[in-house]
Structures are given as C-alpha cells and as structure tokens.
Structure 1
Amino acid sequence: MRTIDDIPRRAAGSPNARGQAARAGVPTIPLPRESAQATARTAAASRAASAVPASASTGVAELLRGPVRPARVLTTLPAAVYLQVATERGPEVVGVLTSDSARLPLGCVLFRPSNGRPLVALPAGAPAEVGGGRIVVGDLAVSAAAWWDPRPKLPSPRPALLPEGVRQLRTALYGDGPHSAFNLPGLPGGPGGPLAALRGAVRRADLDAALRTATRLVGLGPGLTPAGDDVMAGTMAGLVLLGHPAADRFAGGVYALTAGRTTELSRALLRHAMAGRVSGEYAAVLQGLVGERPLGPAIAGLLATGSTSGRALALGLSTAIDLVDRTTRPR
C-alpha cells in the first residue's frame, strides 16, 4: 500500500488527489464541484496550507464539508485519534485512523500505518477543529482526498444469504460448542447472563425480548467500545441491512438507552449502526455472506478487530441473521 509519503499533498477533492487515491487502491466518491467550492469558502485563510490526504467515510462528510467547528480530543492511540465535535444537534465523534486500524464508519483513514507514527499523542480535552474540508488536531491537518461509503451495497433490500456461509460464520464464533456457552471478556456468563438471555430471545423468535436485553448490555464491559454495545451495534446494523421490517424500531429502542450509559465513541458508533453504517471489516463479512467476496478471510479480519469488538460485532450479526430468519419466515 502506498503511504502519504508517496502521494503529493494536494488540496482535498482535486482531480489529481482523487486519481492518486484511486491508483493507491482506495475507492473514491467524487464530491460535487459546488460542495467543494463551498468548502473552500468556509476554510480559514490561516489554514490554506496543504493537508495530509486521507480516505474519509461519507458518514462524516457533513461534518468535514461544513463550517469549521471546535472539537476536543476524546483519546489518542497509536492507530487512532478520536475527536468530539460540537454541533447544533449535539456532540458527534470523528476519528483520524491509520491504514492498519479498523475502518470505522466515523473515520478518516490515512494512507500510512501506525508503525510510521503519523499520529501525535495529545491529552484528552486538547483542542481541535473539524470542518472547512479538514480535521486539524495538534500539528496534524487531514483532508479528504477520497471518500468511501460505510453502508455496504447488497444485492437487494432483503438479500438472501448463502446457507453454507451462515454455517461458516457460526462455526467461527461457536466452534463445536453450544451457542449458550459463548462468552465475551467483561460480560457476565452463564445461564443468567445477558448473552444467554439474548440467545433465549432468539430461540423463541421474540424480537421484543431481544430488545429488552439491550437494557442489560448497553454500556456493559470495559474499553472505549464496551462489548455489550458492540453486540447491540452488530445486531442493529444487521437487522437494518438485512431488511427486517422492525429494524428501525429495534435500533431506535437500543439507541434511546445510550445517553449517559456508555462512552461517547461507542454511542456514536451505535448511531451509525442505526443507519446501517458499519466498519469495513463488518461490511466484508456481509458481502461474503451474499457471495460477493471470499468469506473466510473476511470473517478472520472481523474477529481480529480489537480485543473483543470483532467477536462481539460478529455475534451481533449472527443474532440479526437468526432474528430475520425466525421472526419473518412464514410459519
């Protein structure tokens, strides 16, 4: 993969920048000329210097292309910097990610891995700016040279999944053991735990009972994205993308529980999941399940994401698949 050292630093959205991003293997979504001109008008004159190019999710396009807004650092990691942005609708989150980070729907992905140390460590609360076509944090300015859509394109609103693919996903998750034995670090296990309650709701084909388990899962577990949230995000996005008729009600019910119960980053990812916007790793598994790409490497890539996030998201997707099958199939 080419790095930012290989790509001349041109203004975001320029034909040359898009062409270079495409040659680097990054899918591009051209911005309308009018939007690009509006972005240029809102950029401060003091920030006219070229910025480091990135491939940005269209899930944060409104923030990037809008007016310059103040932001603050939520946290910095070797592979990511997450910023909270003040907007008229309330706080939102955007991330600057290295190329070897999980491809989150709220991220701008640099063309450089974390071992090149492209991100600077800043304390939580440090000031930043988002808008006018850029993200400015510390000494780093990032602009969108290419765009990607975090909502995967599937063959139909209610796509048919390959039965062998579904079995492959379940085997990767559960192995030869029973589903009830599955557990995640940081979540209570056993027959009285929330994962067991979720599996019980699925077996009974009871969508409302599955939704009630969200009261036990949202915010549960350690880390920036608690495992309980990741399970719910995987379930919400799966129901939306697989076309379950009650997907919006389920997703809205889960999201309504998040205020004050989980981290700002996790809450932002749950909001994206409501709209079917997911990580690139999650999207790859869905595309494998409909036969559009090799499934085995996609499952391995998702399960390798984070310490628990990938397995929790995969469990959520498996839960959504079962709920779609059991609650919409004619009986």
Structure 2
Amino acid sequence: MTIGTRPRARRAPARATARTNVSGAASAALRPVLDSPRKPARVLAAFPAGLYLEVRTELEPHVIAVLTGEATRLPNAVVLAGELPRVTVGDEAVVGDGAIEVGRISLRARRWWNPAPPLGSADPARLAQAAPAMAQICRASSRRPGLEHNGAAEMLADGCVTGSLVGMITAAEHLVGLGPGLTPSGDDVLAGLMVALRHLGHASGAPRAVWLADWLAAAVTFDARTRTTPISATLLHCAARGEASLEVLAVLRGIAGRQALEPALARLLTLGHTSGADLACGLRIGLDAVLGLTAERAA
C-alpha cells in the first residue's frame, strides 16, 4: 500500500451561525438586564406562542419572556415583530448589550411600554362599587382559584383587611411556591395582591396600603428564587414593583372607573388553568384592604 505524502487539505473553520436581526416591543422592566454586559442564558421553556429565557444574573427580571402578539403580554416580555425562533429547552442564548440572541435571531427592542402605569387619582366611593361587582363576576365564572378555601389564602385576606402586618407576612410565607405549574397559585394570589395594594393605595390616597405592599414585597421576594419556579420568582419581583400583565392592568383601570370592569375581569379569568382566577383573587383581597384602610382613615 502506497502512503501519500501530499499534506491533507485543511478544513475551513466552521462559520458562525448566521443570525437574522429582528425587532420587538419590550417592557421597560427589562432595561437593566438588556442594557447590562452580555450574559449567558438558556431556554427555560418553549411554547407555540412564546419562550422563556433564564439569564445568569442577579438582576431582575432574570427570566425574560419572548412572545408573539397572541400571547399574554407579561411585565417581563419582549413581543416579537415576527415568528419565534425554533429552539428547544436547554438551548443556549445570550442577553445583554441591548440584544437577545437566541436560536437564529438577534432581537433588539425598538419600542417600549410601561408595565406599571400610574392609575391617577381614584374616588374611594368608585372603588367601593367595584368590590361587589368583582365578587359577582367571579362567582358567576366557571374559573375557580386554585387555592379556593385554602387556610393560608383566607389568613392573607384577614391580615390585609385588618392591616395586620404579622398576619399578612405569616400567610405570605405559606403561599410562596404553593401549587403546581410554572406559576403556582399561591404566587399568583400574592402577585395580584401586591399590585392592587400599590396601585389602588396610591390612587385612593391610602399610604398604609402602599406601606403594606412594601413589606409584603420584601418578604415575598427575599428568597423567591429558592422557593418557587424561576418564571414565577421573576413575576413576583415584577409584581413587587407594581408591574403586571396588560390583563391585570385593565382590571385595575376598571376598578378605578377608567374602563369597563366586567369585560376586563372576564378576560383575566380566562388566563391559564387557574392563573387568571388566582390573580383576580389577589386583586380582590387588595381592593378590600384598600377600602378598609381608606374608611379607617376617614373615620
């Protein structure tokens, strides 16, 4: 056998995967993460209408939702102007320097929205009218909260209505991470409550409601990453700052009389298996607490 002496031709170096530049609309909550230096990330979950990226960072939101226009616009989301990239759970990504690189796309935000727009002032009498209306709509709905008749949820409501910080925090400790799914029911109730206390407290001139929201936020977010799912932990951090999905914000506007309440609440109740009903439960607890605190202040 003859051995050739001609040197073997060198292979051309592998070409980097070509990326398609796309744009989207992003929540302003993502600015700290997107504007920071590049960090590795991974695909945490992927669905037809969106995918979730977990970024290796201490900043929040550390989970970013990349969504199509049909998905629920979460407070930690970037909404694509095109189709989602084809990815699977565990795929690598990069986030930072103003961009998200995942699959074959490089995504940059060209427009921004505020996930915590202020309600402005709201008449406590208008809020009082919204409370029984919400109760009636929720009773008539086939969508039930995942923690209905749960002792911790009832303790949370009692602590908020009476303004008991100890009772509220104790109940919250039991609720973090309670329930199955990407966003456990206990977390959704707490998220709805924190958003309601903060926005309705500011709108109705009830500073103690905002004070309760601050304490609840500190307790819930302190170790959320170790007690619940990554997606839910990020959403709790968002809710602690008053940031919420468009469906939740629409219900708050309905409570304050800025738009029709019934269709907004009906839309919220359809979200997920129990997420919408759990969020509505938290909003109702927060509304009742704000009403109690404004009445106490007026007395």
TM-score clears 0.5: yes
Deviation string for 1:16-53 (max 9, x for gaps)? xxxxxxxxxxxxxxxxxxxxxxxxxxxxxx89976222
Structure 1 Cα separation of the partners of residues 261 and 283 of structure 2: 14
Question: Aligned partner of 1:225: which letter?
Answer: T
Aligned with 2:286 (options 320, 323, 326): 320
Residue of structure 2 aligned with 1:108, choices 66, 75, 78: 78
Aligned equivalent of 2:231, options 265, 270, 274: 265
Give the distance between the partners of 2:225 and 2:101, measured in 1 at CA: 27
Question: Could you give the per-residue CA deviations for residues 228-278 of structure 1, whole angstroms, max 9, x where no partner exists?
Answer: 100011111211222323321121112224231100110011011111111
Gapped runs of 5+ residues in structure 1? 1-45, 113-117, 177-181
Change (3 A) 1:91 1:325: closer
What is the percent sequence identity of the aligned residues?
39
**Corresponding residue of 1:73:** 43
Residue 10 of structure 2 corresponds to none
Alpha carbons 2:175, 2:187 under 8 Å: kept: yes
Provide closer, same or farther for how the CA distance between residues 238 and 48 of structure 1 changes in structure 2, counting only shifts above 3 A: farther
**Distance in structure 2 (CA, Å) of the matches to 1:47 and 1:154:** 46
Could you say which structure has the larger radius of gyration?
2
Mapping of residues 212-223 of structure 1, within 5 Å: 212-223=170-181
Residue 255 (structure 2) aligns with: 289
Match of 1:303 among 251, 269, 280: 269
Q: 1:87 Cα deviation (Å)? A: 2.5
CA positional deviation for 1:124: 2.7
For residue 270 of structure 1, give the secondary structure of its aligned residue in structure 2.
helix
Matching of residue 168 in structure 1 with residue 138 in structure 2: no
Aligned to 1:276: 242
When structure 1 is superposed on structure 2, of 258-267 and 319-328 the one drifting more is 319-328
Aligned partner of 2:115 in structure 1 is 150
1:289 deviates by 1.5
Alpha-carbon separation, structure 1, partners of 2:138 and 2:293: 22
Aligned residue for 1:115? none
Q: Which stretch of structure 1 is more off in the superposition, 227-236 or 50-59?
A: 50-59
Determine if contact 2:28/2:114 at 8 Å carries over to the other structure: yes
Secondary structure in 1 matching 2:224: coil
Distance 1:90 1:311, change over 3 A: closer
Give structure 1 regions of 4+ aligned residues with deviation exceeding 4 angstroms. Answer: 46-50, 88-91, 202-205
2:194 is aligned with 1:236 = yes
Tell me the residue number matched to 2:184.
226
Q: Report the Cα offset of residue 205 of structure 1.
A: 4.5
**Distance (Å, rounded) in 2 between the aligned partners of 1:231 and 1:143:** 32
Instruction: Give the conservation status (yes or no) of the 8 Å contact 2:17–2:104.
Output: no
After superposition, the C-alpha distances for 1:188-239 in whole angstroms (9 at most, x for unaligned) are: x54x632233344345443431221112211011111101100011111211
Deviation string for 1:94-141 (max 9, x for gaps)? 1101111111110001246xxxxx224533321101122221111233
CA contact (8 A) 1:240 1:276 kept: yes
Q: Which moved more, 1:125-134 or 1:145-154?
A: 125-134
Displacement of 1:327 in angstroms is 3.6
* SS of aligned partner of 2:268: helix
Q: Which residue of 2 aligns with 1:5?
A: none
Aligned length: 272
Q: Structure 1-normalised TM-score? A: 0.74
- Which shows bigger deviation, 273-282 or 243-252? 243-252
Partner of 1:11: none
Q: Is the 1:218–1:257 Cα contact (8 Å) retained in structure 2?
A: no
* Code of the aligned partner of 2:106: A
Spell out the pairing of 1:98-137 with structure 2 (5 A cutoff): 98-111=68-81, 118-137=83-102
